[in-house]
Amino acid sequence: MKTLRQDHARKVRDGIFFLVMGGLSSSFILLIVLLLIADITFTSFAEFRTALSKPEIQSAFKLTMASCTIAAIMSVWVATPLGYILSRYRFIGHRLIDTIVDIPIVLPPLVLGLSLLILFHQPFPFSNWTGKGFILDEFLRETLNFPVSLSWPAVILAQFTVSCAFAVRTMRVTFDQIDPRAENVARTLGCSRAEAFLRIALPQATRGMITAGTIAWARALGEFGPILVFAGSTRFRTEVLSTSVFLELSIGQLDAAVAVSLLMVAMAVIVLVILRAIGAGLNG
């Protein structure tokens, strides 16, 4: 009899536990679902198609796809060695570098965009060939004919600055989860550090690289503040989908803003599903 009462009491406690945990978890899921339903029901398919047929939004879509992809590739390219170094080695300044990597994550987006703008337009204390203070944007514009600020490279740089920080965190966790003993054995058999990294560690980190690329791409897609400050929001030049929402709202085109928002949601979902399926296939 006592055992039955204990079992019943345990089942009641378990039921309360799952009720509380499920309630807290479902509240966030419900919020996201309600947000999507609100956006979908706000506009019709005809209004959605009309908004996306605008030449400026189509141009923004193309620039968004190109810039997000380039920023994600650059992020993985940088995050893989940096994440490996932070994971495998301890050196003077390790904690400082680890902290610096997180700065773009915690820094307010507008501050990050302003910092990029200052970096490229602030005269440095030493002189260039003209005798004036060295200004990075003028140097790139005059010598390489490659302007950065207020042009499409600024979009990519702003996206990369933020998305790379998330990619570095992902790659560090990836290498933390890979046992370094196989690399040490390879080195005892005559491999250099580079060969051990390329032949042992890097193949095992493939899924992490895909995850890092996914996170970087999605983060670049939603970037707004740094792009607005550093690249501007000029139609057919530096406008991406995130700034399209802002521009459409600023002129009172709420239907177009919602349509662009839904397009961004669809793009993010499609990319996440495809890349996660690739990652699952590689892992399976």
Residue 4 banded pLDDT, cuts 50, 70, 90: low
- The pLDDT score that the predictor gives to residue 83 is 93
* Closest to 142 in 3D by CA, of 162, 155, 128, 154: 128
User: Structure tokens of 55?
Assistant: 């030449």
User: What is the pTM for the complete model shown?
Assistant: 0.85
Q: How far is CA 100 from CA 17, 78, 92, 176, 244, in A?
A: 40, 15, 14, 19, 31
**What is the average pLDDT across 94-106?**
90
Q: What is the mean pLDDT of residues 64-81?
A: 94
Q: What pLDDT is stored for residue 80 in this prediction?
A: 93
168-216, pLDDT tens digit by residue?
999 999 999 888 888 888 888 877 888 888 888 888 888 889 889 988 9
The owner of tokens 């459409």 is 248
Listed range (109-118, 155-164, 184-193) with the worst mean pLDDT: 184-193
pLDDT at residue number 144: 74
Residue 125 pLDDT greater than 80, yes or no: no
Rounded Cα distance between 224 and 232, Å, is 10
